[in-house]
Amino acid sequence: MSYFRPEIAAMAGYAPGEQPQTADFIKLNTNENPYRCSPAVEEAVREAVARGLSRYPDPTAGAFRHKAAEVLGIDPDWILCGNGSDDILTIVTRALVGPGELLRLPYPSYILYTTLATIQGARSEALHFHRDWSLPAEFGAGGPDLKLVFLPNPNSPSGTMISPDAILRLAERLPCPLLVDEAYVDFAETDCLSLVGECERVMVSRTLSKSYALAGLRFGYLVAQPHLITEFAKVKDSYNCDTLSIAAATSALGDRAWLAETRAKILATRQHLADGMRRLGFDTVPSQANFTWNTHPQHPVKPLFDELRRRRILVRYMDYPAWGDGLRITVGTDEQIAACLDALRRIV
Amino acid sequence: MSYFRPEIAAMAGYAPGEQPQTADFIKLNTNENPYRCSPAVEEAVREAVARGLSRYPDPTAGAFRHKAAEVLGIDPDWILCGNGSDDILTIVTRALVGPGELLRLPYPSYILYTTLATIQGARSEALHFHRDWSLPAEFGAGGPDLKLVFLPNPNSPSGTMISPDAILRLAERLPCPLLVDEAYVDFAETDCLSLVGECERVMVSRTLSKSYALAGLRFGYLVAQPHLITEFAKVKDSYNCDTLSIAAATSALGDRAWLAETRAKILATRQHLADGMRRLGFDTVPSQANFTWNTHPQHPVKPLFDELRRRRILVRYMDYPAWGDGLRITVGTDEQIAACLDALRRIV
């Protein structure tokens, strides 16, 4: 007999992308930023260490919320900080979705959403994107048990976006909160932040892992109307963000020049990657994120992934049941992408 | 109407101890270590920053688990790392306790245990300690819905311990896992680590917040048999520990001399604190932790707390319904404790 809840005993657990602990891979599999974070962030960590680590951190990460509020043009009480945006997704799911209730997500998208529903003993409803990566009309439909809708925007693995207008129309039809997961939004042309004030059901989550090159730090945040933030705060661990990550994240948001420069480099390399893949005959979806989604009309992609891996180039092979497979390739440096394209040229 | 689960809407949320963001308090309210962490830890953080933060951390914190396994004399696969031991308590509760099921804890103890049950939609059963801080016999009783028992050891606010022998006998009677929360165990004379191998229902959680002076870092861990660790790992956020905290925690466990020296200083000061309080007429429970629990046969303690606070000395006033109130005073430096005792001498 098991001590565990049946949902837990039955589940496989989320398998994150491979994180080899050696440095000899060109690592294009988990959408990390190929550049080093802002020097101001590293200095902020060193200063925080110098101030000491023996005290508990500010439980509400006030310094970050004030800086983010200033940068985003909102009030600090519209912001909840998390230990990575995964922590935010966990908090939101635990607060809203009870056993047997329903969580909706598009498919294919972030596998974690379904895992979070399962851990709650809840049901999840994965509605397939159309082949052009638009959403089916029923994505905005109501339902008595529907408690939360996740919408990654830009989406992974496609890198595509739904327009803010369309998202607002969705939220207005829905009976429950819609969390727009903007993990990749700094690489996109638009975002949904202003919708949060227009409709209380729209919430936006962000992370510093991708655009700020701080995946190692674990820092994310939620923007929602204050009466919702108050409820979510009940569910978080008291000290979910640590002294060093709060200092670093605050500093990161303050260095707008670094972000603009890094974004410009990644967008330029993304174009090289997409052009190169198309020249090799791939169907490469136009991306608004820091990766591209690639299928090939003639070649099965799994052997390409294996052969790239053998050559120490790690991309992400995704195989979505009832949808299909493909290669998700992170936008690295120009040199890394040139090496990846060169290897593929020899393989295809 | 609320979007939130009824349990969440109804709850008050856990209020952590006051964390003034100014430095002009003598802060003896949240059991932080008054000393600075090991210099090796600060150096480890600086080295980790120098290596870069753009990559995701090792999802299993392998470096820490190997070091801890060496220090504790166990295998790395008996260890699960968490973002503070609060994260461990959260993971364990989510994995074991479903809606309507039962979680047991002693009373008074750590208020978070009940909060975690509430968030799960579970019930909690707080069994009162005897007045001598021993456990009632029914603490080891079974029950069809009982899924998890929490036992802080040393306990807070009392600083008292249940012997490992008594805990093993408890676990052998229980139908479910017993988590021995050893947040304060480095200040005690004994621990329950060896019980984990003797009985699969015994699990031990620890934190680096107190004895290692790393409350700002958020790092804790669970020791349990490997087939249980595998299940708990399904519930944690993939990257729940960050690059800096993994490096720091690994280094902290490696500096045994720092721990021994700091422990010796705190134990000596604890004796001064207890002696001083008793001389002032307090009933001060003999403590195996880095704080003491104090009541007074003549004086109500709430006015003492208020007056200390007015004098910029912050201790913790605890008022437990159906039990009583008291002052929990963290063991600070000799100077801090002398100042606290001096202030109390003038007030009482």
What tens digit of pLDDT does each residue of A275-288 get? 999 999 999 999 99
CB A182 within 8 A of CB A192: yes
- pLDDT at A273 exceeding the cut of 80: yes
Amino acid at site B338: A
Inter-chain touch A242–B239, beta carbons under 8 Å: no
Mean pLDDT of chain A: 96
- pLDDT at A21 exceeding the cut of 70: no
pTM of the model: 0.97
The ipTM, to two decimals, is 0.96
Inter-chain touch B86–A215, beta carbons under 8 Å: no
What is the nearest CA distance from A32 to chain B, expressed in angstroms? 6
What is the nearest CA distance from B299 to chain A, expressed in angstroms? 31
CB A250 within 8 A of CB A63: yes
What is the nearest CA distance from A115 to chain B, expressed in angstroms? 9
So what's the architecture of A39-255 in CATH?
3-Layer(aba) Sandwich (3.40)
What's domain A15-36+257-347's superfamily in CATH? Aspartate Aminotransferase, domain 1 (3.90.1150.10)
Give dist(CA B135, CA B107) in Å, integer: 9
Q: Residue A257: its pLDDT value, please?
A: 98
Share of chain B above pLDDT 70, in %: 97
Give dist(CA A262, CA A264) in Å, integer: 5
* Residue pairs between chains A and B whose CB atoms are closer than 8 Å: 230
Each residue of A154-200: pLDDT tens digit? Answer: 999 999 999 999 999 999 999 999 999 999 999 999 999 999 999 99
Each residue of A43-59: pLDDT tens digit? Answer: 999 999 999 999 999 99
What pLDDT band is residue A1 in, cutting at 50, 70 and 90? Answer: low
What pLDDT band is residue B19 in, cutting at 50, 70 and 90? Answer: confident
What residues have CB less than 8 Å from A182, skipping those under 6 apart? A153, A191, A192, A193, A204, A205, A206
Q: Which of these, B111, B172, B116, B108, lies nearest to B141 by C-alpha position?
A: B172
User: A-chain residues within 8 Å CB-CB of B45?
Assistant: 45, 49, 244
Q: Residue A14: its pLDDT value, please?
A: 64
Across A220-229, average pLDDT: 98
User: A-chain residues within 8 Å CB-CB of B7?
Assistant: 98
What pLDDT band is residue A24 in, cutting at 50, 70 and 90? Answer: confident
Give dist(CA A182, CA A110) in Å, integer: 12
| Whether the domain at B23-31+257-347 and the domain at B39-254 fall into the same CATH topology | no
Of B8, B54, B56, which has the smallest distance from its Cβ to A235's Cβ? Answer: B8
Task: Report how far apart, in Å, the C-alpha atoms of A269 and of each of A208, A213, A266, A272, A283 are.
Answer: 20, 16, 5, 5, 18
CATH of domain B39-254: 3.40.640.10
What is the nearest CA distance from A141 to chain B, expressed in angstroms? 16
What is the nearest CA distance from B136 to chain A, expressed in angstroms? 24
Of A3, A49, A240, which has the smallest distance from its Cβ to B96's Cβ? Answer: A3
Q: Which of these, A172, A121, A178, A115, lies nearest to A146 by C-alpha position?
A: A178
Cis preceding linkage at B39, omega within 30:
no
Q: Residue A18: its pLDDT value, please?
A: 72
Across B115-141, average pLDDT: 97
- Give me A245's structure tokens: 């990550």
Across B193-205, average pLDDT: 98
Across A303-311, average pLDDT: 97
Amino acid at site A244: L
Give dist(CA B327, CA A19) in Å, integer: 48
Domain ranges across chain A: 15-36+257-347, 39-255
User: B-chain residues within 8 Å CB-CB of A240?
Assistant: 83, 87, 218
Inter-chain touch B3–A176, beta carbons under 8 Å: yes
Q: Residue A16: its pLDDT value, please?
A: 66
Of B58, B214, B245, which has the smallest distance from its Cβ to A21's Cβ? Answer: B58
What residues have CB less than 8 Å from B7, skipping those under 6 apart? A98, B118, B119, B120, B121
User: A-chain residues within 8 Å CB-CB of B201?
Assistant: 3
Inter-chain touch A95–B42, beta carbons under 8 Å: no
Each residue of B295-319: pLDDT tens digit? Answer: 999 999 999 999 999 999 999 999 9
User: B-chain residues within 8 Å CB-CB of A235?
Assistant: 8, 119
What pLDDT band is residue B21 in, cutting at 50, 70 and 90? Answer: low
Find the angle CA(B276)-CA(B281)-CA(B283) to the nearest 5 degrees.
90
User: Which chain B residue is nearest to residue A8, measuring alpha carbons?
Assistant: B95
User: A-chain residues within 8 Å CB-CB of B237?
Assistant: 83-84, 86-87, 90
Share of chain A above pLDDT 90, in %: 95
Q: Residue A82: its pLDDT value, please?
A: 98
What pLDDT band is residue A22 in, cutting at 50, 70 and 90? Answer: low
User: B-chain residues within 8 Å CB-CB of A35?
Assistant: 54
User: B-chain residues within 8 Å CB-CB of A86?
Assistant: 237-239
- What is the per-residue burial (b if ≥16 Cβ within 10 Å, else e) of B299-326? eebeebbeebeebebbbbbbeeeeeeeb
Give dist(CA B263, CA B162) in Å, integer: 21
What is the nearest CA distance from A132 to chain B, expressed in angstroms? 31
Task: Report how far apart, in Å, the C-alpha atoms of B62 and of each of B48, B240, B247, B249 are.
Answer: 15, 13, 10, 12
Inter-chain touch B242–A94, beta carbons under 8 Å: no
Give dist(CA B238, CA B230) in Å, integer: 13
Across B74-99, average pLDDT: 98
Asked if CATH classification 3.40.30.10 holds for the domain at B23-31+257-347, the reply, yes or no, is: no
- pLDDT at B1 exceeding the cut of 70: no
User: B-chain residues within 8 Å CB-CB of A251?
Assistant: none
Q: Residue A154: its pLDDT value, please?
A: 98
What is the nearest CA distance from B73 to chain A, expressed in angstroms? 24
Each residue of B232-275: pLDDT tens digit? Answer: 999 999 999 999 999 999 999 999 999 999 999 999 999 999 99
Inter-chain touch A83–B234, beta carbons under 8 Å: no
Across B215-240, average pLDDT: 97
Of A87, A98, A214, which has the smallest distance from its Cβ to B5's Cβ? Answer: A98
Give the torsion sign (CA, B211, B213, B215, B218).
negative
- pLDDT at B101 exceeding the cut of 90: yes
Q: Residue B24: its pLDDT value, please?
A: 84
CB A145 within 8 A of CB A176: no
